[in-house]
Amino acid sequence: MAFYKTYKNSFGKPSFSMPLSGLGAPTSPLVAKQLEEMSKSLNQGIKNVEIGTISADKFEFIPLQHFEEIRRIAKLTDSKVSVHAPLLDLAGFPTGEGGGRWREEQRKTSEEQVFSILERTQKMSNGENVPVVFHAGNTFSQEYEKGLQRMSEEEKIIDGKKKIVEKLVPSDIRAIAAVNSETGEMTRLDYEEKFYVGKKGLGKDGAVVWDPFTRLDNLNETQWDEEKIRLLSFEKEIEDLREKLNLKLKQNEAIEKSGLVNNEDYRRTYQLNEVDMQRMQSHIHEIHNKLRSSYNDVYNKFMQHSTDEQKKEFEEKHQHLMKNFDENKNKLEDIGKQLHTIKEAEKRVKSEQEKALLKKKEEEMWRQFLDRQVLQSKIVVTDMADMPTPQIWKPVGEFAIEKTAETVSGALAKMYSRLKKEGKEKETPFIALENFFVNTPMSRAEDLKKAVEMSKKKLQEKLTKDYKISSNEAEKASEALIAATWDVGHINNLRKAGWEGEELKKQILEETKQIADLVRHVHITDNFGFHDSHLPPGMGNVPIREIMEQLEKKWAQLEKEGKLKQQPRSIVEAGGFVAEIGANPTVGILEFFGSPLYKMGPSPYWGGKEVPMPHRAGMTYTPYTEAFIEFPQQHFNMYGSSFTTLPKSLGGQVGGEASRFSGTPNQ
């Protein structure tokens, strides 16, 4: 914690200070030569270095020995290392051209990749928990637009009765992606206002508002209706076959009663009816089994994807139906056993009379069996008709939080338990989930906070249940190993949704305040709100000073309360400036933060007066402005230093091939 609001300058604006030792920088994310990249960063005086590549494939080219060498160098130079993991989708959503469905298999693969990255990260530990940054989401989940509306419901008393009334509430969601949690299929749902003949809506000029969440509800209801129709079609098919079977049965009974069974023509009809009835009985039995299987499938979907409130409501309303279902099921099983006994008896008897009696009994039992099956189908369909609509289609953002928490907790639990066996659990890397682009899951504070807290909860459960670690230790581990990375440039892209100026600034600071207690890693970068341009701070419109001040305030509070499990780090990501402008951003970064050139003691600042150091007892900087001397070129030709990195005020560089004193006059 090193960022401080200290005093007001002559223009009446607050002045800030942050020492270089409190800042860090990433290596080039485009190459596997991370060892070389780290050395370049250290040569610039950077003490916090974040290594990593954007591409998951490129990350795999970094040799294991390089991670161990980075650890050694970090120890020798008293520097700190963090890792920026490559772009993965922790929830298991497709990336690139891999298809358009979510797959649990892909999520499990991501979990294995996360574990592998943690393994290599631990190789760089000098006894500390090395931070690993993962983008929390990497697929489209929503599109924002300021000033929209959303349908909502509220309960009102009208004419003495409770009624549900629809109303519009403010919303900033333009579109969402939805995922079918059964099949992994994905679709986009957009905001729209439509006009209907004879129907007046709550929107402008009477338009009916179809916000993305109303569309989602409609999508779930449509699919649930299709499930019901499928069950009804089975019941109807059973009813139709049963009706045809009864006609055949009555026809044969009439032939028997009239004594025409010995007539050749009637006997043939009788025999064909017998064959048809057996076929129909088998068909009804098959359809009933399909109905039962389909109902079980539907019931399973309901139990997996409905809320606790829906389950309770369904159980209370249909308890008697389920009792009847179980009773009827038991009677069907009894009749089935009796039919089996009759079939076995028919094989043993030789008397035609006994065979005829057994056949009559078998026919009667079949009629009872079919009647019971029809009753069972009616119970099933009746039960299904009132079953509340479960949320099989879910917002990708909500679904991603659950699956990301599963991946993070699974990988960390495995890593912690393995290191615990080696007595190195204190070296378990901690994961800091980062808010990514604003159209991806967990890009805003509320959802990122949910993901971190859910991951902690799941990690604690896995450690206690799967790895038999005490609940007290599991709780401490979960608090220490999962946090958030706040990327100030990514959140600034909310400008694309319509926020501007002070309103945008206020929104960003509100988001920061909401997530501050979980932030242990910061990515500092600037832009203009439309592209993640990675400019040095002060070159765009991101309110970096105010963000950092808010975070520092929260960190100081947590440290005082003993709740700061990881010492936060700030990494300045200015790669876009380097790539496009071709200049080193370090001087601009120092100037923006008013950084002293040395870590402790009297040291040259960019300007100002004494700077108190809150939260650090006994430490005070007394800054002054250094008068840099501009020596003429002849000075460097004559007396220049061979230290290429020194400023001119401390020697500079000799120009040309001549020696230091070559051509120097004696007087």
Predicted pLDDT of residue 52: 96
Predicted pLDDT of residue 583: 86
pLDDT category at 383 given cuts 50, 70, 90 is confident
**Range scoring the smallest mean pLDDT among 326-335, 481-490, 564-573, 606-615:** 606-615
Residue 501 to residue 497: CA distance in whole angstroms: 13
Predicted pLDDT of residue 322: 64
Q: Rounded mean pLDDT of 66-76?
A: 96
Query: Do residues 576 and 588 lie in contact, with contact meaning Cβ atoms separated by under 8 Å?
Result: no
Predicted TM-score of the model (pTM): 0.79
Residue 507 to residue 530: CA distance in whole angstroms: 16
Predicted pLDDT of residue 662: 46
**Range scoring the smallest mean pLDDT among 109-123, 345-359, 418-432:** 345-359
pLDDT digits (tens, 9 = 90+) for 259-316: 887 888 888 898 898 888 888 888 887 887 888 788 888 888 888 888 888 888 787 7
Predicted pLDDT of residue 623: 37
Residue 298 to residue 288: CA distance in whole angstroms: 15
Structure tokens of 324? 């009847």
Query: Do residues 637 and 658 lie in contact, with contact meaning Cβ atoms separated by under 8 Å?
Result: yes
Q: Give percent of the chain with pLDDT exceeding 90.
A: 49
Residue 483 to residue 505: CA distance in whole angstroms: 24
Q: Is the pLDDT of residue 497 over 60?
A: yes
Higher pLDDT among residues 515 and 201, named by residue: 515
Predicted pLDDT of residue 7: 40
**Most confident stretch, 148-152, 186-190, 350-354:** 186-190
Query: Do residues 432 and 521 lie in contact, with contact meaning Cβ atoms separated by under 8 Å?
Result: yes
Residue 451 to residue 449: CA distance in whole angstroms: 5
Please name the residues in contact with 144: beta carbons below 8 A apart, sequence gap of 6 or more. Answer: 172, 173, 174, 438, 439, 494, 496, 497
Distance of CA 274 to the CA centre of its chain: 61
Higher pLDDT among residues 557 and 15, named by residue: 557
Structure tokens of 632? 């003429």
Q: Rounded mean pLDDT of 109-133?
A: 97
Sequence letter at residue 280:
M
Query: Do residues 417 and 469 lie in contact, with contact meaning Cβ atoms separated by under 8 Å?
Result: yes
Predicted pLDDT of residue 97: 43
Q: Rounded mean pLDDT of 160-172?
A: 83
Alpha helices in 349-427 (DSSP H): 352-385, 396-421
Predicted pLDDT of residue 15: 55
CA dihedral of residues 113, 119, 120, 126 (deg, nearest 10): 150
Residue 491 to residue 484: CA distance in whole angstroms: 14
Q: Rounded mean pLDDT of 371-398?
A: 82
Q: Is the pLDDT of residue 522 over 70?
A: yes
Structure tokens of 2? 């090193």
Predicted pLDDT of residue 189: 96
Closest CA to 572 of 542, 604, 616, 602: 542
Predicted pLDDT of residue 230: 86
Predicted pLDDT of residue 1: 44
* 101 DSSP 8-state letter: B
Structure tokens of 477? 């581990």
Domain boundaries, the chain: 4-139+394-597, 219-385, 629-667
- 276's torsion region: left (phi>0), alpha (psi -120 to 50) or beta? alpha
Q: Rounded mean pLDDT of 232-242?
A: 85
Predicted pLDDT of residue 234: 85
Q: Is the pLDDT of residue 657 over 70?
A: no
Sequence-ordered strand ranges (E) for 39-182: 48-51, 80-84, 131-135, 142-158, 161-180
Q: Is the pLDDT of residue 600 over 80?
A: no
**Most confident stretch, 169-173, 200-204, 299-303, 427-431:** 427-431
Q: Is the pLDDT of residue 414 over 80?
A: yes
Q: Rounded mean pLDDT of 217-242?
A: 88
pLDDT category at 331 given cuts 50, 70, 90 is confident
pLDDT category at 13 given cuts 50, 70, 90 is very low
Structure tokens of 399? 């679904």
Architecture of domain 4-139+394-597: Alpha-Beta Barrel (3.20)
Residue 522 to residue 549: CA distance in whole angstroms: 12
Q: Rounded mean pLDDT of 436-443?
A: 96
Predicted pLDDT of residue 532: 94
pLDDT digits (tens, 9 = 90+) for 606-619: 444 344 434 333 33
Residue 104 to residue 122: CA distance in whole angstroms: 27
